[in-house]
Amino acid sequence: MTDTTDTWQVGDKTYGSRLIVGTGKYKDFEETAAAVEASGAEIVTVAVRRVNVMDPNQPMLVDYLDPKKITYLPNTAGCFTADDAIRTLRLAREAGGWDLVKLEVLGDQKTLYPNMVETLEAAEVLIKDGFKVMVYCSDDPIMAKRLEDLGCVAIMPLGAPIGSGLGIQNPVQLRLIIEQTSVPVLIDAGVGTASDAAIAMELGCDGVLMNTAISEAKNPVQMARAMKLATEAGRAAYLAGRMPKKKYADPSSPLAGLI
């Protein structure tokens, strides 16, 4: 059973699920909705794009995932400058009417690594403009601190390059960021399978964000459920506190009274 008292907060809202899922790369909106349902996510990331003027009757995401029931987190995926990201999120705020957003300014097509100079610049402008900014960032603790000091409401370092599915490659850096940060820390990008999500949560972060690990699984809906369980398991293990690692064996049965 899910521990209903173990919640976290971002913006003005409290959430029970520590898994945020992206809504891109699915076969169709039915599959997107089914995967989100199976993941138990209460927040989903969405992108802002031009409407197709020639085809107003195309299905819309809002018809499959109700923004009144699930928090839409507009992102700036695909933006490579602070200016583009700011413009995109201003439109997102107008489209949705909420100010909780995910800022992501990329620096390189091949690695999709965040451009931290542009990210800092955009974060400053957006925060002054009243946005609540959850920020995708590098795993550099100094940069993470700068973003927190600017007023970002969540720090979201990568665990491995976006879409790589390589798993958590940087537990040392992530742990430093988690230890020093007083707003929620979510590991954003890098998760490939359920054990990666558990490892991320065992580090003590507040949540994980993923898209490709679910949407590119052979059975996305089943993987969504696996990610839900793994996120919960990792969180529970973190709260329980793991046993210390030892160099040699340590018997589980008492040695006293052996025949």
Partner 1 sequence: MSFVITITVNGDEKRISEGQTIADYIIGLGFDPTKVAVERNREIAPKSTFNTQVLSAGDTLEIVHFIGGGNNA
In the bound complex, what is the minimum distance in angstroms from residue 60's beta carbon to partner 1?
6
What part of residues 100-129 is at the interface with partner 1 (CB under 8 A)?
Answer: 104, 106, 112
Q: State which of residues 15, 18, 19, 26 lies at the interface with partner 1 (CB under 8 A).
A: 26
Task: Enter the tokens of residue 94.
Answer: 């107008």
Question: What 3-state DSSP class applies to 209?
Answer: strand
Tell me the window of 42-50, 115-123, 177-185, 193-201 that interacts with partner 1 (CB under 8 A).
Answer: 42-50
Q: Is 52 within any annotated ligand binding site?
A: no
Length of the chain: 259
Q: Are 177 and 155 in contact (CB under 8 A)?
A: yes
In the bound complex, what is the minimum distance in angstroms from residue 93's beta carbon to partner 1?
8
Residue 45 has, within 13 A of its CA and on its CB side, a CA count of 25
Torsion of CA 88, 60, 23, 29, to 10 degrees: -170
Q: Is 241 within any annotated ligand binding site?
A: no
Which residue, 24 or 171, has its beta carbon nearer to partner 1?
24
Is 247 one of the catalytic residues? Answer: no
Tell me the C-alpha distance between 17 and 174, whole Å.
Answer: 21
Counting contacts by CB under 8 A, is residue 212 touching partner 1? Answer: yes
Q: Which residue among 27, 102, 132, 145 is the active-site one?
A: 102
Q: Is 212 within any annotated ligand binding site?
A: yes
The CA-based diameter of the chain, rounded to the nearest angstrom, is: 85
Which residue, 161 or 236, has its beta carbon nearer to partner 1?
161
Which residue, 50 or 246, has its beta carbon nearer to partner 1?
50
Residue 244's contacts (CB-CB under 8 Å, 6 or more residues apart) are none
Annotated binding site for 1-deoxy-D-xylulose 5-phosphate: 163, 189-190, 211-212
Q: Which residues are catalytic?
A: 102
